[in-house]
């Protein structure tokens, strides 16, 4: 059976922790989209790891970790992360990389960086890791699949074609140096040596695994609001962040997906550009940002301070709807113990009308939050694992969110570590 763990919001919901926890009972963990442009934080017996490209099952020796065909595969990031696991004393993980995955090339990073420079103040808040140019090239059919590194003549021909196109952009639009086919070819030959041991027909692997009754966990990156179709376009990422895309991004049948767990925090956080209706400013924001997550709300990949705000029920209800969530994992409940009262955004006011439906971007830009205020619990709930041990106000807060979202909250996370959870 296939289970997906995905983000209901803007990313950074705590998917890493939930995946790491659920991975324990899975045989295979799959990354199916995105690249090294966002990060998961997992904390286990070996220490604290920020994973960007590697699936969250890499710390369990019994798990096969798959980088699916839908990923933007950046070889240097992959090797660097493997090394950081080794340095942290983690036993060598089992990893397979799809032979159909496409390579995130050095010129994708350059193009992303040049474009953000060119746009200056009007930029999209890209992490400059080349994701948008990568996916543009993939759909323009000038990407390079990993398997193509093994046909040198074909590869050279492809590189010639790519460089002709890219160099028009690089020299005329960005006024930067030209790309050289030989240099790129040499780089790819080096990568070929390094990646060959991991390359596999992962679609066949997961098909066989399903026949054998194995459990596959699809691990989403970012969240619903960053989906290029259903998110806050154009302030989205360039690959689909929805559970449904998991079927494409590794090649499992849609009918095999039995459970879709949407992860959301007990408050909101977002990094990057685009409307964020519940954004707080000043001292209120500073305090929540400082207390949030396990080390404050700062991006796992970029270190950028995240915007923070109260729980956005409008965005989360929609985020769960487009994911087709069957249950919710609510993280970081422990963070809110310092508050006398807690607000929840239950509606958006747009042009004087209050709506509970998440709107398209031009309307979203005009939305103002409508809050409902609930009493706080004023104590530390960190590490509580029994629902009945939660203060009544904390229980009521969770129940209120559940009613607003309309999907059962089956897991409540009360701390960053693997075992700090309440199961309902």
**Which residues are the active-site residues?**
12, 40
**Does 224 sit near ligand GDP (CB under 6 A)?**
no
| φ and ψ at residue 251, rounded to 5 degrees | 95, 45
**Which stretch, 96-104, 149-157, 195-203, 409-417, contacts ligand GDP (CB under 6 A)?**
409-417
What is d(CA 35, CA 57) in angstroms, rounded to the nearest whole number? 16
Of 64, 102, 326, 414, the residue at the interface with ligand GDP (CB under 6 A) is 414
What is d(CA 316, CA 121) in angstroms, rounded to the nearest whole number? 29
Of 33, 331, 346, 411, the residue at the interface with ligand GDP (CB under 6 A) is 331
Residue owning tokens 């004023």: 378
Q: How far is the CB of 38 from ligand GDP (least distance, A)?
A: 6
Residues 255-294 that bind ligand GDP (CB under 6 A): 293-294
Nearer to ligand GDP, 111 or 316 (CB): 316
- The three-point CA angle 79-93-145 to 5° equals 50
304 annotated among ligand-binding-site residues: yes
388 annotated among ligand-binding-site residues: no
The CB density around residue 106, as the number of other CB atoms within 10 Å, is 15
Nearer to ligand GDP, 13 or 81 (CB): 13
Nearer to ligand GDP, 10 or 114 (CB): 10
Q: How far is the CB of 42 from ligand GDP (least distance, A)?
A: 7
What are the helix and strand counts (H, E) for the chain?
12, 20
Task: Tell me if the bond preceding 234 is cis, omega within 30° of 0.
Answer: yes
Taking CB atoms within 8 Å and a gap of at least 24, the contacts of 376-381 are 376/336, 376/337, 376/338, 376/339, 376/340, 376/341, 376/342, 377/336, 377/337, 378/337, 378/338, 378/339, 378/340, 379/337, 380/334, 380/337, 381/333, 381/334, 381/337, 381/414
Q: How far is the CB of 376 from ligand GDP (least distance, A)?
A: 16
| φ and ψ at residue 92, rounded to 5 degrees | -50, 120
Give the distance between the most distant pair of CA atoms in the chain. Answer: 68
Residues 4-43 that bind ligand GDP (CB under 6 A): 7, 11-17, 38-41, 43
**Does 57 sit near ligand GDP (CB under 6 A)?**
no
Cβ proximity of 420 and 412 under 8 Å: no
Nearer to ligand GDP, 191 or 235 (CB): 235
Q: How far is the CB of 412 from ligand GDP (least distance, A)?
A: 8
Q: How far is the CB of 299 from ligand GDP (least distance, A)?
A: 7
17 annotated among ligand-binding-site residues: yes
Q: Which residues of the shown chain bind ligand GDP in the complex (CB under 6 A)?
A: 7, 11-17, 38-41, 43, 293-295, 300, 331-332, 334-335, 413-416
Q: Residues annotated as binding site for substrate?
A: 300-306
Known binding residues: 11-17, 37-41, 127, 141, 237, 300-306, 332-334, 413-415
């Amino acid at each position: 059976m296939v289970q997906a763990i995905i983000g209901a919001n803007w990313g950074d919901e705590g998917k890493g922790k939930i995946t790491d926890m659920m991975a324990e009972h899975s045989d295979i963990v799959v990354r199916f989209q995105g690249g090294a442009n966002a990060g998961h934080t997992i904390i286990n017996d070996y220490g604290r790891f920020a994973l960007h490209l590697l699936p969250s099952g890499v710390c369990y020796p019994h798990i096969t970790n798959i980088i699916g065909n839908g990923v933007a595969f950046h070889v240097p990031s992959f090797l660097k992360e493997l090394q950081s696991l080794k340095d942290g004393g983690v036993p060598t993980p089992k990893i397979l990389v799809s032979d159909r995955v496409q390579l995130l090339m050095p010129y994708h990073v350059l193009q992303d960086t040049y474009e953000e420079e060119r746009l200056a103040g009007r930029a999209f808040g890209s992490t400059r890791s080349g994701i948008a140019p990568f996916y543009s090239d993939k759909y323009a059919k000038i990407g390079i699949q990993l398997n193509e590194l093994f046909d040198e003549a074909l590869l050279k021909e492809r590189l010639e074609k790519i460089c002709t196109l890219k160099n028009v952009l690089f020299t005329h639009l960005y006024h930067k140096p030209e790309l050289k086919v030989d240099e790129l070819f040499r780089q790819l030959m080096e990568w070929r040596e390094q990646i060959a041991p991991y390359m596999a027909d992962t679609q066949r692997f997961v098909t066989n695994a399903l026949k054998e009754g194995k459990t596959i966990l699809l691990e989403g990156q970012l969240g619903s609001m960053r989906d290029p179709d259903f998110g806050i376009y154009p302030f989205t990422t360039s690959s689909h962040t929805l559970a449904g895309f998991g079927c494409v991004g590794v090649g499992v049948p849609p009918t095999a997906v039995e459970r879709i767990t949407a992860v959301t925090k007990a408050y909101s956080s977002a990094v990057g550009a685009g409307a964020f209706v519940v954004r707080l400013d000043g001292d209120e924001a500073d305090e929540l940002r400082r207390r949030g997550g396990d080390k404050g709300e700062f991006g796992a990949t970029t270190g950028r301070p995240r915007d923070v705000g109260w729980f956005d029920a409008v965005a989360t209800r929609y985020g769960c709807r487009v994911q087709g969530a069957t249950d919710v994992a609510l993280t970081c409940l422990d963070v809110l113990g310092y508050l006398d009262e807690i607000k929840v955004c239950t509606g958006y006011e747009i042009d004087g009308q209050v709506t509970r439906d998440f709107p398209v971007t031009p309307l979203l830009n005009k939305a103002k939050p409508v809050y409902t205020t609930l009493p706080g619990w004023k104590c530390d709930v960190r590490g509580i694992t029994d629902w009945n041990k939660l203060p009544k106000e904390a229980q009521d807060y969770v129940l209120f969110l559940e009613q607003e979202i309309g999907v059962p909250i089956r897991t409540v996370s009360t701390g960053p570590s693997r075992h700090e959870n309440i199961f309902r």
